[in-house]
């Protein structure tokens, strides 16, 4: 009997007891135009280190702009460590109080109860920002009640969340993956759009490659930034010669999405967003400006507002299973 009690005690102390608010991280904005607005950022891709991109973006939006930012992650159920390979995102209920959702997901097959929180938000008419692999955010089981509407490759459902909400699903790597980087070029006639305020050609750069899209983008999609395929991985490398840049693919655009309740949401999509991409000041400014725009606050966008990195930021290279193991949301608090 005593040995059983001892074993039970060891198990109890070996498994951390997680409080609900330890399963996600909240960055409280104190002052700035965003004070009083709540942004929920949801990280869950396998390759491009969304678990690094979104906490840093949340810190920037909170510290420099005053937004309250709640960042959610895919997690191990037992110990609460961040693990992109697990289909479990605690805290999606926070979307009920969100004014804006920023999603960086890839091929998620979430439990129905968790998907419902996402679906309720997506159909609510509130603004959505989708990064990189969110064009193919969901790979749901066929008996899921959300399969037809959100499954990334369901032709009968119109190619799901990516195509219907963001404007495109997964198509292709247009630039060579891992060897041809992306330089942002402002789309013709869009230099005065508030989302690109303070951004010039070449300010946006990242080692992630340009994604292919089907042209033209659907509906009222408005390309803002085009992706110039670069013949290398450095900002100084020249553009690739040939058909890859003729025409250039859109890498950032706006559109609207009318949800089931008949309410129309502002949507911004970029096929950039890897954690290494975020070292680009131009991309950080693009994402901050897009957050203001999504919230209908474009009159508050300043081309000189701070988008500086907050704290230490040493992003890991993008690759499958390349995440840092053993990290918990509590390790990512603002310092």
CB half-sphere exposure, 55, CA atoms < 13 A:
24
pLDDT tens for each residue of 183-206: 999 999 999 999 999 999 999 999
Which residues are 130's β-sheet partners? 103, 269
Q: Distances from the Cα of 48 to the Cαs of 149, 231, 308, in angstroms?
A: 25, 21, 21
Quote the pLDDT of residue 157: 80
Please give the pLDDT value at position 1. 42
- What domains are there in the chain, each with its CATH number? 21-172+211-220+250-332 (3.40.50)
Closest C-alpha to 41, from 23, 28, 58? 58
- What's the CA gap between 131 and 141, in Å, rounded? 23
- With b for 16 or more beta-carbon neighbours within 10 A and e for fewer, the 127-159 pattern comes to bbbbbbbbbbbbbbeeebebbebbbbebeebeb
- For 150, half-sphere exposure in the C-beta direction (CA atoms, 13 angstrom radius) is 26
Residues lower than pLDDT 70 in the chain: 1-20
Q: What is 173-230 written as a DSSP string? A: ESSPTTTS-EEEEEPTT-TT-GGGTT--TTS-EESSPPEE-PSSPSTT-EEEEEEEEB
The tokens 């097959």 sit on which residue? Answer: 109
- The pLDDT value recorded for residue 10 is 38
Residues in the chain: 335
- pTM score: 0.93
Residue for token pair 């690759």: 319
């Amino acid at each position: 009997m005593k040995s059983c009690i001892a074993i039970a005690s060891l198990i109890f102390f070996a498994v951390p007891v997680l409080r609900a608010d330890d399963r996600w991280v909240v960055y409280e904005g104190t002052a700035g135009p965003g004070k009083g607005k709540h942004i929920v950022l949801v990280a869950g891709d396998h390759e491009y280190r969304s678990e690094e991109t979104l906490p840093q973006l949340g810190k920037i939006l909170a510290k420099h702009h005053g937004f309250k930012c709640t960042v959610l992650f895919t997690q191990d159920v037992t110990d609460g460590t961040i693990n992109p390979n697990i289909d479990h995102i605690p805290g999606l209920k926070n979307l009920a109080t969100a004014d804006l959702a920023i999603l960086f997901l890839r091929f998620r097959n979430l439990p129905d109860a968790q998907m419902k929180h996402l679906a309720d938000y997506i159909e609510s008419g509130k603004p959505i920002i989708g990064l990189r692999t969110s064009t193919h955010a969901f790979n749901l089981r066929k008996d899921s009640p959300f399969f037809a509407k959100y499954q990334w490759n369901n032709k009968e459902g119109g190619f799901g969340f990516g195509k219907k909400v963001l404007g495109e699903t997964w198509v292709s790597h247009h630039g060579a993956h891992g060897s041809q980087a992306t330089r942002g070029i402002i789309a013709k006639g869009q230099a005065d759009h508030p989302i690109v305020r303070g951004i010039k050609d070449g300010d946006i750069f990242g080692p992630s490659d340009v994604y292919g899209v089907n042209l033209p983008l659907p509906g009222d999609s408005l390309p803002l930034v085009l992706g110039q395929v670069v013949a290398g991985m450095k900002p100084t490398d020249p553009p690739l010669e040939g058909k890859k840049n003729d025409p250039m693919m859109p890498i950032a655009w706006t559109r609207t999405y009318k949800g089931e309740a008949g309410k129309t949401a502002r949507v911004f999509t970029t096929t950039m967003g890897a954690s290494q991409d975020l070292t680009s000041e131009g991309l950080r400014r693009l994402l901050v400006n897009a957050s203001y725009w999504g919230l209908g606050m474009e009159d508050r966008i300043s081309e000189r507002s701070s988008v500086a990195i907050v704290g230490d930021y040493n992003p890991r290279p993008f690759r499958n299973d390349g995440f840092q193991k053993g990290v918990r949301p509590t390790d990512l608090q603002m310092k």
